[in-house]
Amino acid sequence: LRHLTSLENLPRETIERLLDRAEALRDACAHGTRKLDVLAGRTVLNLFFEPSTRTRTSFELAARRLGADVVNFDIGLSSTSKGEELFDTLHTLEAMHLDAIVVRHKQSGTPDMLVRHAMSGVSVINAGDGNHAHPTQGLLDTLTIRQHRPDFGNLTVLICGDIKHSRVARSDINAFTALGVKEIRLCGPTELMLPADEAPQVRRYGNFDEAIEGVDAVIMLRLQKERMASIELPDEAAYFAHYGLDRRRLGLAAPGCLVMHPGPINRGIEIASEVADGAQSRILEQVGNGVFVRMAVLDEVLAR
Ligand code: CP
């Protein structure tokens, strides 16, 4: 794999190889190996045009733990604010001899555009583009589920919330479908549901109590207000009443159902604190797995 811009059309073997590598790195870390030098002498650029806590930090940690040098491009202090266009910024940075660009952008398709315009030798990794894809989040969600429920052929997963604007939901659906998850359910208000022509294999619900019945894992999503210019925002209290995950609703799921969220969480809007911080929550485990998944991806695209 030279670039990673989406999980769509990625073969099952490639996804499994990345998950296996992430798992091996996690095991090595648990046995005391915190740093490797497989990417010594390589340079990774974090190019984030949208805010990030988890993805940016874990890509930086991942690159450093593999021995690479990391440059965090500060958009606020860059010449972007003086009107420099994206491709001029790209070519300027490439001239400094980078090996990989990790990019997040509000415009769907930006990482694929960078792949088409990048100089040969530079790998592009998508850290989230618009509502299109967040492939490393899809991988880390899958790794977290596999850790606890490895039998995907008997697994039912529910994704609930603002699906329409969610690149996480789309990458999760791609990964779960490729790995043969038995049933993928989506739940949310009609105006925030995945368009009917996308992912015909998933089951769509409007009623959360019905959707969560018997599921093995539930992935809650926040309302992405920053992408809702043309949609009237739901009243938050009413939204929680219909689509918030609390202890009562979690009781309708299968025993031990995994509670997941890509973050950032909005407590009391899509998830109650009693559940986000409860015994079934895997939210911080997802964050930890993010570092190992990003190490696996950097190793895959750069170790050549
Ligand atoms: N899950 C996720 O992408 O979080 P950040 O926006 O903090 O990177």
Residue 272 corresponds to which tokens in the numbers above? 């109650």
Crossing angle, helix 12-30 and helix 167-178, to 10 degrees?
Answer: 100
- Please name the residues in contact with 222: beta carbons below 8 A apart, sequence gap of 6 or more: 161, 162, 261, 264, 265, 266, 269, 270
- E-assigned strands of 145-291? 156-160, 183-187, 203-205, 217-220, 258-260
Same domain, 176 and 215: yes
pLDDT value of position 91: 87
Does some domain include residue 3?
no
pLDDT value of position 304: 64
Does some domain include residue 4?
no
pLDDT value of position 1: 94
Same domain, 164 and 262: yes
From first to last of its 304 residues, the chain has per-residue pLDDT tens of 999 999 999 999 999 999 999 999 999 998 988 889 999 999 999 999 999 999 999 999 999 999 999 999 888 888 888 989 888 888 888 888 899 999 999 999 999 999 998 877 899 999 999 999 999 999 999 999 999 999 999 999 999 999 999 999 999 999 999 999 999 999 999 999 999 899 999 999 999 999 999 999 999 999 987 878 777 767 889 999 999 999 999 999 999 999 999 999 999 999 999 999 999 999 999 999 999 999 999 999 998 6
- Tell how far the Cα of 55 is from the centroid of ligand 1, in angstroms: 5
Same domain, 200 and 258: yes
Same domain, 66 and 184: no
Instruction: For ligand 1, pick from 52, 57, 266 the residue to mutate: most ligand atoms within 8 Å of CB.
Output: 52
pLDDT value of position 228: 80
- Please name the residues in contact with 65: beta carbons below 8 A apart, sequence gap of 6 or more: 34, 35, 36, 291, 295
Q: What ligand 1 atom has the least distance to the C-alpha of 134?
A: 3
pLDDT value of position 189: 94
CA-closest residue to ligand 1 atom 5: 52
Pocket lined around ligand 1, Cβ cut-off 6 Å:
52-55, 128, 137, 262-264
Q: Say if residues 243 and 160 touch (Cβ distance below 8 Å).
A: yes
- Tell how far the Cα of 232 is from the centroid of ligand 1, in angstroms: 24
Say whether 134 counts as a known binding-site residue. yes
What is the tally of structural domains in the chain?
2
Does some domain include residue 1?
no
- Tell how far the Cα of 263 is from the centroid of ligand 1, in angstroms: 6
State how far the Cα of 175 lies from the Cα of 4, in Å rounded to an integer.
13
Same domain, 197 and 232: yes
Same domain, 274 and 164: yes
Does some domain include residue 200?
yes
pLDDT value of position 226: 80
Same domain, 157 and 237: yes
Q: What is the dihedral of CA 126, 128, 129, 134, to 10 degrees?
A: 80
Does some domain include residue 196?
yes
Q: What ligand 1 atom has the least distance to the C-alpha of 137?
A: 1
CATH of the domain at 267: 3.40.50.1370
Same domain, 172 and 122: no
Longest Cα separation, the chain: 56
Same domain, 150 and 81: no
pLDDT value of position 134: 98
Question: Which residue type does 269 have?
Answer: I
Q: Is the pTM of this model over 0.90?
A: yes
The ipTM assigned to this model is 0.98
Does some domain include residue 170?
yes
| DSSP strand pairing (203-205 vs 69-73) | unpaired
Same domain, 229 and 156: yes
Q: Which residue, among 136, 140, 138, 186, has the nearest Cα to 164 in the 3D structure?
A: 186
Same domain, 144 and 250: yes
Does some domain include residue 237?
yes
Q: Say if residues 168 and 134 touch (Cβ distance below 8 Å).
A: yes
Same domain, 78 and 149: no
3-state helix, strand, coil in the chain (%, to 5): 45, 15, 40
State how far the Cα of 129 lies from the Cα of 104, in Å rounded to an integer.
6
Q: What ligand 1 atom has the least distance to the C-alpha of 263?
A: 1
Range of the domain at 124: 12-133+287-302
Does some domain include residue 2?
no
